[in-house]
A and B are shown apart, each in its own frame.
Chain A
Amino acid sequence: MEIFSMTIKELHKNLIDKKISPVEILDIFYKRIEIVEPKVKSFILQTKELAYEMAKKAQERILKNENVTELTGIPLAIKDNMCLEGVQTTCAAKMLEGYLPPYTATVLKKLEDAGAVFIGKTNMDEYAFGSSTENSGFFTTKNPWDLERVPGGSSGGSAACVAADMCAGALGSDTGGSIKQPAALCGITGLKPTYGRVSRYGLIAFASSLDQIGPMTKTAEDNAILLKYIAGVDPKDSTSVPYDVIDYEKNLNKDIKGMKIGVPKEYFIEGIQEEVKESVMNAIKFFESKGAKIVNISLPHTEYAIDVYYIIATAEASSNLGRFDGVQYGLRDNDADNIIDMYKLSRQKGFGKETKRRIMLGTYVLSSGYYDAYYKKAQKVRTLIKNDFASAFESVDVIMTPTSPTTAFKIGEKTSDPLTMYLSDIFTIAPNLAGLPGISIPCGFDKNNLPVGLQIIGKPFKEEELLNMAFVYQKETDWHTKKPKL
């Protein structure tokens, strides 16, 4: 097996057996990147110098057998909305080209402490606004399974990078589906943890009541490993929750006999691709064959989730993006002779179309006279959506649905109508509004050889149950081991 195709688990075994060193692994990955990256375009920045520095440190740790963790010497890719001190962090926005954060995000600090190696910063939709990376201020990432199609988004760079074997694993962030949807479209395993499970300190904010960082990997086992190192409460993020972090990896391979799986009828509606439905139903049957019980459930407010989401997420975004005003960092227009014009011109030049659209929608729903009609109304319907899940979870342990209604769509297919683009997140948005954890795992392919994703939604802080279900499935299926031809 090629080194670059190995899982984190396999690489770790080779590292501790001293069959290969972190620097040698890094050489192999950068060689792989040289060949594949021109086609896929995952990276905004390859952090070579830093990566070799980190690999050398990891090498020393392994040689001395000191502080060796499962991530020591493992090359990981990082979505470009997580701050790394002194290393350009752009959120794929022209506004932040050249921005050097003065501090490092907690998740990256944790990975650094574990001895991981940062191979590069990956492309995304600008400020994470999108489902395809087409809104990136720089370029569109290609789906490794079909270079004419999108990788999904907004963490499309991270998903494509993992699928194309240009890293061993990656971090993404998820607000309305930005980890799960690209994971599905690229055929990898992506987990959006419970809101509050992972620190958001140093994650450039999109919608603060929804954003969550999570692992994107080749297997459920790798996902469990990565989560263990990034989860936990952080004094620097007051919304992180002091809930015990367990050894997710040790919890894998538990018997799922008697587990109750809820299948909500609202997620198998007309308009979803037939092959997606079929693959997901087959996956559910697999769990049934392992002794799980299938329970038909209803989440009656599902259809309103997208409306609630586009009010809450844009409202929070319009407020969060107020900080990009050309004063302390980022692009500034120098032609203005007063400060208001400087704000307006800097923001005109620095923001892409979708960013402006979302800021305006968010500003509108928060503006005087509309606040109650839109923003408050949305928060109330959010309660109804949350209650739907709470009552479903009284009778089931997990819920299974498709991750996205279709497989990867063609580049350009949905750019002219923002509403159709928004609908590609229709199945990931509702659980996110309720703050619930969810995982997407590959469960089949359509006739164009494009991967299909199964979404498993869990109770708050029960990531271990999702990872275990995913692990049990991957032990006996091989969808997750299939590789795109590049």
Chain B
Amino acid sequence: MAITKKDVEYIAHLSRLNISDNEKDEYASQLSKILEHINRLNKLNTDNIEPTYYAVDTKNVLRKDIEEKSIEKEKVFKSAPSIEKNGFKVPKII
């Protein structure tokens, strides 16, 4: 199935990516080609096959609820682009 320029715009929006007009055409053709390859999977009948999410079986891993010191905020703020008081500062949301 071919990916159109419009599809790319929609996927880019879902991915929160800004992409240039040139890139849209390039991605449309590359993604189409990759999806064409991937579509080979439809040759296989998987009706009664269970999906594998993790290769090694793991069940819920629980631990005791013990209080522990968390990472100091000064260390976390060191790499923050913008902070104010005790929080990360971002542009207007609403």
Contacts and interface: CB of A to CB of B under 8 A. Distances in A.
A228 B53 CA distance: 28
A102 B71 contact: yes
B49 A360 contact: no
Given A328-B80, A367-B14, A383 B52 contact: yes
Contact of A381 (B34, B35, B44): B44
A419 interface: yes
Contacts of A435: 54-56
Contacts of B11: 360, 363-364, 367
Interface string A215-256: 000000000000000000001001101000000000000000
Interface string B70-91: 0110011011111000001011
B44 A103 contact: no
A76 interface: no
Contacts, number: 166
Interface stretch (A9-17, A265-273, A341-349): A341-349
A135 B32 CA distance: 21
A40 to B, nearest CB: 29
A347 B56 contact: no
Contact of A383 (B33, B50, B80): B50
Nearest to A360: B11
A337 interface: yes
Interface string B6-23: 011001101111110001
Nearest to B44: A381
Contacts of A301: 44
A102 B54 contact: no
Interface string B23-64: 100010011011101101110101001111111101001010
Nearest to B50: A383
A307 B79 contact: no
Contact of B52 (A339, A379, A436): A379
Given A361-B31, A374-B38, A433-B55, A99 B92 contact: no
A325 interface: yes
Contacts of B55: 195, 209-210, 386, 433-436
A345 B81 CA distance: 14
B16 A419 contact: no
Contacts of B51: 376, 379-380, 382-383
A418 interface: yes
A476 B81 CA distance: 55
A98 B79 contact: yes
Contacts of B61: 238
Given A102-B75, A307-B41, A310-B34, A348 B17 contact: yes
A102 B76 contact: yes
Interface residues of A, number: 75
Given A311-B38, A338-B91, A195 B56 contact: yes
Contacts of B17: 344, 347-348, 351, 356, 359-360
A419 B33 contact: yes
Nearest to A377: B41
Contacts of A409: none
A85 B74 CA distance: 13
B41 A379 contact: no
A386 B50 CA distance: 12
B27 A304 contact: no
Interface in A327-378: 327-332, 336-345, 347-348, 351, 353, 356-357, 359-361, 363-364, 367, 374, 376-378
Given A239-B54, A304-B41, A382-B52, A344 B79 contact: no
Contacts of B49: 380-381, 383-384
A195 B54 contact: yes
Contacts of B40: 303-304, 307
Contacts of B31: 357, 360-361, 364
A318 interface: yes
A169 interface: no
Contact of B46 (A325, A364, A381): A381
Contacts of A241: 56, 58
Given A238-B58, A384-B44, A348 B38 contact: no
Nearest to A321: B15
B30 to A, nearest CB: 6
23 contacts: A196-B58, A238-B61, A301-B44, A303-B40, A327-B90, A330-B79, A332-B81, A338-B91, A338-B93, A344-B17, A347-B16, A353-B23, A356-B17, A359-B17, A360-B27, A367-B14, A378-B41, A380-B46, A380-B49, A380-B51, A381-B44, A383-B49, A435-B56
Interface of B: 3, 7-8, 11-12, 14-19, 23, 27, 30-31, 33-35, 37-38, 40-42, 44, 46, 49-56, 58, 61, 63, 71-72, 75-76, 78-82, 88, 90-93
Given A330-B81, A360-B12, 9 more contacts: A101-B79, A195-B55, A210-B55, A318-B15, A357-B30, A357-B31, A364-B31, A379-B51, A435-B56
Interface of A: 85-86, 98-103, 194-196, 209-210, 235, 238-239, 241, 301, 303-304, 306-308, 310-311, 318, 322, 325-332, 336-345, 347-348, 351, 353, 356-357, 359-361, 363-364, 367, 374, 376-384, 386, 418-419, 433-436, 460
